[in-house]
Amino acid sequence: MHTLKGVSRTDQYRALGLSTFAFTICFAVWTIFSIIGVKIKQELGLSDTQFGLLVATPVLTGSVSRIFLGVWTEQFGGRVMFPLQMLITAVCVWLLTSVHSYEIFLVAALGLGLAGGSFIVGVAYTSRWFEKERQGTALGIFGAGNVGAAVTNFAAPFLVVALGWEGTARVYAVVLVITAVLFFLFAKTDPVQQARKESGEGPVSASSQLEPLKNIQVWRFATYYFFVFGAFVALASFLPRYYVGAYGLELTTAGVFAGLYSLPGSVFRALGGWMSDKWGARAVMYMTFIVSLVVLFIMSYPQTTYLVSGINGPIEFNFGVSVGMFVALTVVLGFVMSLGKAAVYKHIPVYYPHHVGSVGGLVGMIGGLGGFFLPIAFGVLLDLTNVWTAPFMLLFVLVAVSTIWMHVVIRRMERSRHPALADEKYLSDVPEKPLEKPETEAGKTSGVTKPAQ
């Protein structure tokens, strides 16, 4: 574990505050197509599949870039990488306004997607400022920068009405440049990077940073994140289109309702970090998946008419989710997904304190790929089935598979590796400190059997 000698609480709060603010701005930029994409779809006459690909393309870059941005942040520090990443993204956002064909829009969207890579830069930078016991809460607060999606859903529709989608993109680019400059001026070099400078030690090699990626455990964390983050990003981009199409709402109203989903899906991440510190990340993951299953089952039920042959003639029943009920369900879903996102990233600095950038980068990449593939899948399902709720059916299946895999397969793997734990029901998330049961009256310890001497 890295040393925090000489680091004050003020230093910690400064690093956390600046990182969270910068990540919020970057996340708002990353999801800009959820709003301006609706206008672009209308101008170019795109199909739902084409629109899904356009919305998902920035997520692809933001996901894949997390691997090398995480490694570079471990090597050169977040104070350098964060502003550099934001400035490059700002240029791409500004150039977006000069594009006029669908194919070039996709290319421009790849550059804009670098905004999503800011997540792992902030995780690697922030985690270096806090003790292990407080990292879950700190990273949860930082992750609340996902609220940038709500900022875009709330504010961008009104900017589009006032300035057009091109003017909205220019405003976002300028704000990104200002944020990059402020971060570089006020942020400090993190303790690990500072210690390297003072000792003359060179950057950690990329091969060393990527070493933990061979562990199946890392990929398990990434699978969880595919839903709690990937689906969050996908829905933040898809919901405005869903409200406009399924309920016939205006874009401004649809953006506000989508923002009501994104807001709890972001701000309660800090609560998820605290809960993971207190009760364990695995318990939080179980709660996230179970509640999501219930909510998605209701959301996936299409508008249906039942015709029953009654005694005196046909009896008709209509069932459907009203817009008010649907908005309420999205708020609940966003809340538990927020907790789940924090729970996943609670594991990483505990298991891999010296490889947060690379491990967190991989987990973030897989999760981000969910945000890339799912909007495309949503569009394909809409085109093929012509049923508005089909995307939520897909998410229900995804969560069901993840829940079963986590509960059955992972426990089986743990017991096969550690036969002595076959009867243990209270495994801890912290590997070096499993929970113990009290001794029996006979003086025997239940649970783990001591090895022969």
The tens digit of pLDDT for each residue in 129-154 reads 887 777 777 887 887 787 787 788 78
- Looking up tokens 């934001």, which residue turns up? 86
Q: Residue 441: which pLDDT band, with cuts at 50, 70 and 90?
A: very low
Nearest to 398 by CA among 289, 281, 262, 269: 289
Q: Residue 295: which pLDDT band, with cuts at 50, 70 and 90?
A: very high
Residue 309: how many CA atoms within 13 Å on its side-chain side? 0
pLDDT in the model for residue 442: 45
Average pLDDT of the residues in 105-122 = 86
Average pLDDT of the residues in 272-300 = 86
Could you tell me if 407 and 304 are in contact, meaning their C-beta atoms sit under 8 angstroms apart? no
Give the residue, 424 or 257, on which the prediction is more confident. 257
d(CA 13, CA 5): 16
d(CA 221, CA 349): 12
pLDDT in the model for residue 150: 77
Total Cβ atoms within 10 A of residue 15: 26
Nearest to 23 by CA among 126, 124, 143: 143
Lowest mean pLDDT among 24-28, 265-269, 280-284: 265-269
Residue 445 falls inside a structural domain: no
pLDDT in the model for residue 6: 72
**What are φ and ψ of residue 300, in 5° steps?**
-80, -10
Average pLDDT of the residues in 354-372 = 74
Could you tell me if 346 and 206 are in contact, meaning their C-beta atoms sit under 8 angstroms apart? no
pTM over 0.85? The answer is no
d(CA 228, CA 265): 9
Q: Residue 354: which pLDDT band, with cuts at 50, 70 and 90?
A: low
Lowest mean pLDDT among 216-225, 356-365, 399-408: 356-365
- Looking up tokens 């999503």, which residue turns up? 116
Nearest to 100 by CA among 57, 160, 43: 43
What is the span of the domain harbouring residue 176?
9-188+206-305+318-421
Residue 155 falls inside a structural domain: yes
Residue 109 falls inside a structural domain: yes
Residue 430 falls inside a structural domain: no
d(CA 102, CA 389): 27
Query: Is the confidence at residue 443, as pLDDT, over 70?
Result: no
191: CB partners within 8 A, 6+ apart: 2, 3, 4, 5, 6, 7, 128, 129
d(CA 362, CA 64): 8
d(CA 255, CA 248): 13
Query: Is the confidence at residue 229, as pLDDT, over 70?
Result: yes
Residue 255 falls inside a structural domain: yes
d(CA 90, CA 92): 5
pLDDT in the model for residue 449: 43
Nearest to 64 by CA among 364, 296, 348: 364
Q: To the nearest whole number, what is the mean pLDDT of the chain?
A: 79
Average pLDDT of the residues in 306-316 = 79
Residue 327 falls inside a structural domain: yes
Query: Is the confidence at residue 83, as pLDDT, over 90?
Result: yes
Q: Which of 17-31, 154-168, 204-218 has the highest mean pLDDT?
A: 17-31
Q: What percent of the chain has pLDDT over 90?
A: 14
Structure tokens at 144: 């609340």
3-state secondary structure the chain: CCCCCCCCHHHHHHHHHHHHHHHHHHHHHHCCHHHHHHHHHHHHCCCHHHHHHHHHHHHHHHHHHHHHHHHHHHHHCHHHHHHHHHHHHHHHHHHHHHCCCHHHHHHHHHHHHHHHHHHHHHHHHHHCCCCHHHHHHHHHHHHHHHHHHHHHHHHHHHHHHHHHHHHHHHHHHHHHHHHHHHHHHHCCCCHHHHHHHHHCCCCCCHHHHHHHHHCHHHHHHHHHHHHHHHHHHHHHHHHHHHHHHHHCCCHHHHHHHHHHHHCHHHHCHHHHHHHHHHHCHHHHHHHHHHHHHHHHHHHCCCCEEEEEEECCEEEEEEECCCHHHHHHHHHHHHHHHHHHHHHHHHHHHHHCCCCHHHHHHHHHHHHHHHHHHHHHHHHHHHHHHCCCCHHHHHHHHHHHHHHHHHHHHHHHHHHHHCHHHCCCCCCCCCCCCCCCCCECCCCCECCCCCCCC
Question: Based on the number of CB atoms within 10 Å of its own CB, is 425 exposed (0-12), middle (13-18) or buried (19 or more)?
Answer: exposed
Q: Residue 164: which pLDDT band, with cuts at 50, 70 and 90?
A: confident
pLDDT in the model for residue 147: 79
Q: What angle do CA 234, 238, 240 make, to 5 degrees?
A: 140
Question: Based on the number of CB atoms within 10 Å of its own CB, is 448 exposed (0-12), middle (13-18) or buried (19 or more)?
Answer: middle
pLDDT in the model for residue 274: 79
- CATH number of domain containing 254: 1.20.1250.20
**Structural domains of the chain, count:** 1
pLDDT in the model for residue 332: 93
Residue 443 falls inside a structural domain: no
pLDDT tens per residue, range 214-224:
666 777 778 78
Query: Is the confidence at residue 173, as pLDDT, over 60?
Result: yes
